[in-house]
Amino acid sequence: MPIHSSVLELIGQTPIVKAQRLDAGVCELYLKLESANPGGSIKDRIGLSMIEAAEKRGDLKPGATLVEGTAGNTGLGLALVAQQKGYKLILVVPDKMSREKIFNLKAMGAEVRLTRSDVAKGHPEYYQDLAKTIAEQTPGAYFVNQFGNPDNPAAHEFGTGPEILEQMDGDLDAIVFGCGSSGTMTGLSRAFATLSPKTELVLADPVGSILAEYINDGVLNDKSGSWLVEGIGEDFLPSISDFSRVKKAYAITDAESFHTARELLGKEGILGGSSTGTLLAAALKYCKEQTTPKKVLVLVCDTGNKYLSKMYNDYWMLDNGFLERPQHGDLRDLILRPYGQRDTVVIGPNDLLTTAYQRMKLYDVSQLPVLDGDQLVGIVDESDVLLHVYGDEARFRDPVATAMVSKLDRLDVKSPIEALLPVFDRGQVAIVMDGDTFFGLITRIDLLNYLRRRVQ
């Protein structure tokens, strides 16, 4: 292996793995690990392509400011290249983007501006429109415009497509991809039209996006839904898009996307992102519909490291109704972290307050049940700790028992849901019991999540 002079030299030439444990019917399924790019996604390719093409045209001067709207990984690809080349970067991102991506962007020096994810193209707060406005109002700024930039599909027409065919020895029956800016689809379509006309192009699309209906039925809907999968799906046709060779599309739900991504990790050991789950789910559907063996390749668009707080977090999956737990018909159905499953974060009366504080921070909770063995003896929350230590920080070393509330209002597990409201009105959390047996806590957000799940 050569020694490289820049991380940018590691973009591309990503490996392909043949799936061994996924059920692909009569087909052979191949996984193209775009997650192995240095920025963790396929978008590294277009980040490099769009910036270097602008440099060659003379559109970028040293120290220039780049501006872009991104709902997925394009921002990370641009941030990687901008950082290495010394450009300032302003990114406008919708507020559904995972925290890991935002933290990653900021750590790489990008300026991140959050905007609404519940508005469509044409609205001034739509991420692409807002990015264009910022670029127009920023002296000397360059609007990257991935959705209308021909250097986007060129990265795949002359890079990704030929690379795949070389790795597959020119033999590929179908490729499954997603569409956000449409650069991947358009570029691969052009590459395969020239180099491998037999390769069928299959689109994976989130339910709520307009693209699957457009491909399958020829209907261009002017109204889209909403979806949680990041980076793919659209509510309009990007100007650089070329759907002419795409003959088949699958609409995949968020739930199926998340579960399929988790299955990929569980069976093949590959940690893919949310859009990878969408693509893989579509690929498996396509494979199972075939009656003759075919070689099918699916893109692992990005790494799942950016989604650990979301689809790889069981509590997030439960909160959003993507994981099911046995229903009891009582208040147990509202407890996110049941004590009986050892999911409840607890503290002991003799533990130190500094331990309680650290545990609250680590698990992002505001209160801890205090248990002596299996007996509930109190509860301690942020206010209790604050009032105890304020004015004398050394009291963080006092035992929890000195600050906890031991006079508790407890709710029987068979109580009606309405019984929660007076508890919340007093500013407390609900402590759910069955006699002396502690079941867990219910917070306001637990009740809100429960009510929201009932209308899904």
Catalytic residue IDs:
43, 275
Q: How far, in Å, CA of 164 to CA of 161, rounded?
A: 5
411 forms beta bridges with: 432
On the 0-12 / 13-18 / 19+ scale of CB atoms within 10 A, 139 is exposed
Provide the H-helix boundaries in 72-140. Answer: 74-85, 99-107, 127-137
Calculate the alpha carbon distances from 128 to 14, 72, 123, 254, 342 in Å: 29, 12, 9, 23, 45
Instruction: Provide φ and ψ at 280, rounded to 5°.
Output: -65, -40
By the 8 A CB rule, do 13 and 42 touch? no
CA 155, 42, 198, 216 dihedral sign is negative
433, 435, 437, 439 alpha-carbon torsion, rounded to 10°:
-20
Between CA 43 and CA 114 the distance in angstroms is 20
> 127 CB contacts (<8 Å, ≥6 apart)?
69, 70, 71, 92, 93, 94, 115, 117
Distance (Å) of CA 155 to CA 17, 37, 53, 108: 22, 14, 10, 23
Residue 71 CA to its chain's centroid (Å): 10
**Whole-angstrom Cα distance, residue 233 to residue 215?**
13
Residues paired with 433 in a beta bridge: 412, 438
What 3-state DSSP class applies to 285? helix
Q: State whether residue 90 is helix, strand or coil.
A: strand
